[in-house]
Amino acid sequence: MSKLSNSPFEGQYPDGHPVRTYLEENLLIRSYIRELEVANPIHHFELFKELFAKLSKVELHFARKENQLFPYLEKYGWTSPSQNMWAFHDQIREEIKEVKKLIADENMEQIIYASQRVFNSLEHIMQVEEGRLLPNAMSMLSQDDWKEFYEGDKEIGWMFDTPPTQYPAPEYIHPSQDTKKKKLPFDIDDKIHYDEGYLTPAQVNSIFRILPVDITYVNENDQVVFYNRGDDRVFPRSAGIIGREVKFCHPPKSVDQVLRILEEFKAGRQDKAEFWIEFKGQFVHIQYFAVRDEDGTYRGVIEMSQDVTHIRSLKGQQRLLDWE
């Protein structure tokens, strides 16, 4: 459904304000529930199935709260939503999952019962949002806080097909004049800003060292410029490889494949190559990814190798720690 054209919150909240969007989504959720209560699955199964799929997009509503709103509330000392409301989100997720399974099995009688439980849970959480969560958030967060939401909300998404109006309306600032920094609870002077987040070189190195995957980066000139030094590498690497032309880093029988991958990546015809082999009792998954700038300029290739023997053996689920 498109964004509400005639919002009852006009004048109460600015267009696109995150709180207004949450409230407008609640109106959408209630409209879906009303339609689903009329569309009895016994008589209108396909319509019910379609409407329930739309209602299931409430996951985006929950995810924005958990990843966007709750961190700001924590900043001001209110941690209860992060614990209690998040747990309620997970309960509703399980209830929705159960209805989806019943729909897949076309278990009509149970669908009616289980979906009503979802409707009741959603109504309860919306009442908590409207009566406590959002009013408290409005009193706690500053206007500058709310202005920081849009990009993160956009990354997660909304229940509406048409995104809300950007809040606040974008104002052009030349990059040389953009001095605004988001307030963070840690110092960023010694850190590098990545797409999201800030890390010191030492932190980056530590992260690469513990990753359960071998990573090698070859630049646009086909030179090896980086590999991560983990304790359990699949294939051996040493410092002597740095600066070496990549075609000399593979056995002769596989060089032709490596060169073809590079050729296809550089030409823009391919972005990924994938292999899996049995090697020294391990099942090894090997992937190559083209690295490109935002404008599509080729900047090299990442080779990733991982022993997935254990992963392939996993069955069922494990939700509890097994440290004992």
- Confidence at residue 180, expressed as pLDDT on a 0 to 100 scale: 54
Q: Angle at the Cα of 107 (from 102 to 113), degrees rounded to 5?
A: 75
Q: Is 41 helix (H, G, I), strand (E, B) or coil?
A: coil
For the record, the structure tokens of 80 come out as 């209860």
Q: What is the 3-state secondary structure (H, E, C) of 242-261?
A: CCCEHHHCCCHHHHHHHHHH
Residues 6+ apart with CB under 8 A from 162: 2, 3
How far is CA 304 from each of CA 132, 226, 259, rounded to the nearest angstrom? Answer: 47, 12, 17
Structural domains in the chain plus CATH codes: 18-156 (1.20.120.520), 199-313 (3.30.450.20)
Q: What is the pLDDT along the chain (324 residues), one digit of tens a residue?
A: 656 667 788 889 999 999 999 999 999 999 999 999 999 899 999 999 999 999 999 999 999 999 999 999 999 999 999 989 999 999 999 999 999 999 999 999 899 999 999 999 999 999 999 999 999 999 999 999 999 999 899 999 999 999 999 999 876 555 555 545 566 777 888 888 888 889 999 999 999 999 999 999 999 999 999 999 877 788 877 787 888 888 887 777 888 999 999 999 999 999 999 999 998 889 999 999 999 999 999 999 999 999 999 999 999 999 888 887
Residues linked to residue 273 through DSSP beta bridges, in sequence order: 288
Buried b (16+ CB within 10 A) or exposed e, 75-94: eeeeeebbeebeeebeebee
HSE at residue 247, side-chain half, CA atoms within 13 A, is: 10
